[in-house]
Amino acid sequence: MLHISDLHLNPIGYDLTSRLVDQFGVDAVVDTGDLSTWGSSAESAFVNRIGGLGVPYVFVRGNHDSEGIARAVGRQRGAVVLDGQVRTVAGLRFAGVGDPRTTPSEGSADTVGKDAVAESAERLGRTVQAYDQVHPEAPVEVALVHDPTRLAGLVGRVPLVLAGHLHSRRVSEQDGTRVMIEGSTGGAGLTANGLQSLTDGEPVPLEATLLYFRRGGPDAGRLLAYDSVTVGGWA
């Protein structure tokens, strides 16, 4: 599986995604949001390359993505948009929720609406718990959120959480939950911080992660390994 995030309208991010899908035989792409920057209807055309990837594309909305952007993603061939549901894709059970905010706040400097972020993670945690109680033999394996800064409601309830938002890759373990935060696959794209870094001659690198899961046996769905992909700034 390929984890991407925070493309922010940079088509080079989809170039990299397509190349990795083909080169590594990826079974599914997971996008943890902010593929747009302003969430406007004019940005909807940016999502049209999703169907051409040829594999399932699992998406949760970021704080820069409007409901209209999410609907545009959902119309693409192979796309699965999660917002409080559990779906099985490429043999893995995903639970995901979109960012509850619509705000231009960026990266680690974002301090807006964090109570709503915490509440959405708690709701998703309860969804995971309810699903697992009904399906004890096939529990949720991966949870998807955009903003990883308020994860108390998910930690300890799911083996793996994937997120983005911070424009910086980080990996940690909390109470049996591995949290993997992706950098910006679009090199922070068309955002104030991304363009400022480009102007300063220090463009943000493009980042993505290849995740390898066990296919069968008693440990089916367990994360075995991952490869971090970093490509120099997109200037």
Whether pLDDT at 100 is above 80: yes
Distance CA 165, CA 54 (A): 26
Among 173, 153, 209, residue whose Cα is nearest residue 29: 209
Q: What pLDDT score was predicted for residue 192?
A: 46
The DSSP 8-state label assigned to residue 47 in this structure reads: G
Whether pLDDT at 118 is above 50: yes
Q: What pLDDT score was predicted for residue 199?
A: 45
Q: What pLDDT score was predicted for residue 234?
A: 53
Q: What pLDDT score was predicted for residue 20?
A: 98
DSSP string, 76-127: STTEEE-SSEEEEETTEEEEE---S------GGG--SSHHHHHHHHHHHHHH
Looking at domain 2-231, its CATH superfamily turns out to be: Metallo-dependent phosphatases (3.60.21.10)
pLDDT digits (tens, 9 = 90+) for 153-191: 999 999 999 999 999 999 999 999 999 999 999 986 655
Residues 152, 175: contact at Cβ < 8 Å?
no
* End-to-end CA separation in angstroms for the chain: 27
Beta bridge partners of 142: 94, 160
Burial of 190 (0-12, 13-18, 19+ CB in 10 A): middle
Beta-carbon neighbour count of residue 176 at 10 Å?
10
Q: What is the mean pLDDT of the chain?
A: 91
Average pLDDT of the residues in 13-31: 97
Beta-carbon neighbour count of residue 89 at 10 Å?
20
Q: What pLDDT score was predicted for residue 226?
A: 98
Whether pLDDT at 81 is above 60: yes
Domain boundaries, the chain: 2-231
Whether pLDDT at 9 is above 90: yes
pTM: 0.92
Q: Which of 60-69, 151-160, 187-196, 214-223 has the lowest mean pLDDT?
A: 187-196
DSSP string, 205-230: PEEEEEEEE--SSTTTT-EEEEEEEE
Q: Which residues contact 113 (CB under 8 A, 6 or more apart)?
A: 100, 101, 103
124: its two tokens: 């998703």
pLDDT digits (tens, 9 = 90+) for 194-206: 544 544 456 789 9
Average pLDDT of the residues in 100-120: 85
